[in-house]
Amino acid sequence: MSLDIIFPIVGFILMISGIIGCFLPSIPGPPLNFAALIMLVIYDSESFSIFFLVVWGIITLAVTILDYVLPVLGAKFYGASKYGIWGSVIGMIIGLFFFPPFGMIAGVFIGAVLGELLAGQEKSKALSAGFGTFIISVSMIVIKFALSAVMSFYFIYYFIETL
């Protein structure tokens, strides 16, 4: 097998892993899709400009940072305590293993509500915190998926163009 074909194959694997990673918290989706673009540049240096890669690198970095920061800030905005935040993380992990992929999303909500109830919050406040955490988590999944889908489109389009 020629070394030239290794880079596109690795790129395709990274691209697919990146799409999957948008839904699984243990896999960094958009960074893997960005790495796929890098693999295509290694394969064909004329596929993307430096400016294109820098812009998409900045966007990827921003979304990755927001993916870690925004759920916590959003949860606090909706009144979640540390118990609610930890509950949402634990609920997401449990949901991921027992009822994938929808269990992960439901687990965020259920975990946040249970965490708030364990902290002694009223039901209405616990539900509000759970709902806020759920909305932010789903929003980040949609944003990550949109970003990864666009980068996947560019990867596939420019790979076909190089053939």
8 Å CB contact between 114 and 86 = no
Alpha helix stretches (DSSP H) within the chain: 3-21, 29-43, 50-77, 82-98, 102-118, 123-162
Q: What is the pLDDT along the chain (163 residues), one digit of tens a residue?
A: 677 789 999 999 999 999 999 988 778 999 999 999 999 999 998 889 999 999 999 999 999 999 888 877 877 788 888 888 888 888 888 887 887 767 877 888 899 899 999 999 899 989 988 888 888 888 999 999 999 999 999 999 999 998 7
Q: pTM above 0.75? A: yes
Cα 18 to Cα 93: distance, rounded to the nearest angstrom: 19
In angstroms, the CA 99 to CA 51 distance is 42
Taking 3-state DSSP, the helix, strand and coil percentages for the chain, each rounded to the nearest 5, stand at 85, 0, 15
Phi, psi of 78 (to 5 degrees): -85, 10
Total domains in the fold of the chain: 1
Look up the domain containing 37 and give its range.
3-162
